[in-house]
Chain A
Amino acid sequence: LLEDLLNFKSNLRQISQRTISTASRRQLENRVPEKQKLFQEDNGLPVYLKGGAMDGLLYRVTMGLSVFGTGYVLYELMVASMPKKQK
């Protein structure tokens, strides 16, 4: 019985150590080769869109802000350059 208990404890420790170290090991693993494969894929995509769907979304948001903002600047400049008539 004592032997069983000791085996059980040692197995339990091994399992818990293995589980934790595997989970955290994946985060500390070198994932650069995967990225290299993704960004060297011959799919004709430019580098600023090659990472996936999020790239496209960020691009559209940036473009939206820039284009809208430029238009707004031109509007405000027009308004600022018109003299306010005072009676």
Chain B
Amino acid sequence: MAHQAHSYHMVDPSPWPIFGAAAALLTTSGLIMWFHYNSSVLLTLGLISMLLVMLQWWRDIVRESTFQGHHTPTVQKGLRYGMILFITSEAFFFLGFFWAFFHSSLAPTPELGGQWPPTGIKPLNPMEVPLLNTAILLASGITVTWAHHSITEGNRKHAIHALTLTILLGFYFTALQAMEYHEAPFSIADSVYGSTFFVATGFHGLHVIIGSSFLTVCLFRLIKFHFTSDHHFGFEAAAWYWHFVDVIWLFLYMTIYWWGS
């Protein structure tokens, strides 16, 4: 058996990167076929293969770390850098949509009636469901921190309870937002107001769903004893992502919902 003289992880050759690239090709081409030729075959194929690649790639990482022990402190440091860089790139992604919002709302054109919200748009009351959603996400930030402390203190029962509560709060947020979308008196087609509102909050909602899924996987791993009190980076990464989603919401709430109403 070969031994390495360094603390890095030389991974086994894996098919997931190239299959992932193929899945991205199928998904993007599928979007084109759906937009322009009214066919959703490719898109479906792309999304399914994307899901399969993600499940297997991340399953393999769990195997390499928890079951094979390849995640030395050096490797973990690299993963921390990676997750921070990824979240930073997501922050820039949202920055673009905030830019678009301020571009249109700071100097509303005559076509909008020279005002913001534009003439005829009845914005959602920021003191109703949006305020509740703010409270929900803030509370979920507290529960996920409680879960983290419980893990480091070796309190299995509390960790499971706190993480479950975090996930339930996430689902509650998503359900309330879905209801708001359904009940809103304006649609995405209602001038640039609708565009900026639904694209920004929509992408945020997608990230809440992604974050909730990540936390759910962590819950399963927590129950199955994968985490130790001093090595649980998967959970930390999920918690970082969740806090990021919370912060984005706070900006959305303050700018689009509150200032923009």
Contact = CB atoms under 8 A, between A and B. Distances in A.
A50 B68 CA distance: 11
A28 B223 CA distance: 8
Given A32-B225, A51-B63, A69 B22 contact: yes
Interface in B1-45: 1, 11-16, 18-19, 22-23, 25-26, 29, 33, 37, 41-42, 45
Taking chain A's interface residues, is the majority helix, strand, or loop, or is none over half, making it mixed? Answer: helix
Interface in B43-102: 45-46, 48-49, 52-53, 56, 60, 63-64, 66-69
Contacts of B41: 72
A63 B15 contact: yes
B224 A32 contact: yes
B175 to A, nearest CB: 30
Contacts of B225: 30-32
Nearest to A58: B56
Contact of B45 (A32, A59, A72): A72
Interface of B: 1, 11-16, 18-19, 22-23, 25-26, 29, 33, 37, 41-42, 45-46, 48-49, 52-53, 56, 60, 63-64, 66-69, 223-226
Closest 10 CB pairs of A and B: A39-B67, A66-B22, A46-B12, A30-B225, A69-B26, A62-B52, A65-B49, A73-B29, A35-B67, A69-B45
Given A68-B45, A69-B45, 5 more contacts: A31-B224, A35-B66, A39-B68, A46-B12, A65-B52
Interface of A: 28, 30-32, 35-36, 38-40, 42, 46-48, 50-51, 58-59, 61-63, 65-70, 72-73, 76-77, 80
